[in-house]
Amino acid sequence: MRLLLVEDNRRLGELLSEGLGRAGWTVDIVETFEDAAAACRSSRFDAILLDRGLPDGEGLDLLGQLRGGDATPAVLVLTARGGLQDRVEGLNRGADDYIVKPVALEELVARINAAVRRTGSVRPNAVTCGRLSYDPLTRAITIDGRPFDPPRRERVVLEALLNALPRAVAKDLLEERLVSFERQVGPNALEVYVHRLRRRLADSAAGAAIETVRGLGYRLVAQDGRTA
């Protein structure tokens, strides 16, 4: 799943991005209010981690631009401003959680996942395809009950395909999921990750395969041709 990190402390942003990446999130980082607003207009995020004291504005003002849309992400404020009135203001203005720095990475990940579950940004029921199973609440992927944990970028592709079942996912949407604002992927990166993931699914006897949909992208199908 995809998260927008709005943090003007570059070093902290890099550390958070690295830790959240290990937890399975695809993280895009921006450092200003203006860039955060532009990112939200152009892309869909499952969660937003929002600092308050940005160089060009108050982070909470972004909440008013986000609420009321068709696909509202979970928004968690992560800030050093931890006074009672600060916390009350953040929650009253629409934040799904208010976290005061510093915070342990494990707790941060747990609170992000909990906020996403509460806001309904993930599918409530388990998804199956062949012997492959995906639990959107815990984001666990298994094959016949055994953990299946591909490398992070392959996992991004697989989760997108699982969440879209039985539909295909457009190539440009998958590429967007792989790209962060600061680290561009190569022009053929998606094809490389799909190739590796196909081989990994076959080697693991997942009973599921990635099918190319000409002119569109890819979809996940059971090996007998059924999508579930």
Domains and CATH numbers, the chain: 2-119 (3.40.50.2300), 127-222 (1.10.10.10)
Pick from 18-27, 84-93, 172-181, 198-207: least confident: 172-181
pLDDT of residue 226: 46
The span from the CA of 198 to the CA of 137, in Å, is 24
Confidence (pTM): 0.59
Which amino acid, 26?
T
pLDDT per residue as tens digits for the range 118-173:
876 555 568 899 999 998 767 789 999 899 999 988 998 998 899 888 889 888 88
For residue 186, which phi and psi values (nearest 5 degrees)? -65, 165
CA distances to 25, 131, 151, 206, 209 from 200, rounded to whole Å, are: 20, 14, 10, 9, 10
pLDDT for the residue numbered 181? 43
Whether the per-residue pLDDT at 96 is higher than 80: the answer is yes
Residue 185 to residue 119: CA distance in whole angstroms: 30
The conformational region for residue 50 under phi > 0 = left, psi -120 to 50 = alpha, else beta, is beta
DSSP tag of 125:
S
All residues at 6 or more sequence positions from 160 whose CB lies less than 8 Å from its CB, including other chains: 169, 173, 174, 177
- Return the bridge partners of 133, or none: 128, 142
CA 157 → CA 1, 40, 117, 140, 215, distances in Å?
A: 10, 21, 21, 14, 18
What are residue 30's DSSP bridge partners? 6
Are the beta carbons of 156 and 144 closer than 8 angstroms?
no
Please give the Cα distance from 190 to 177 (Å, whole number). Answer: 10
Query: Does pLDDT of 227 surpass 60?
Result: no
Cβ proximity of 218 and 174 under 8 Å: yes
pLDDT in tens, 44-83: 888 999 999 999 999 999 988 876 555 678 999 999 999 9
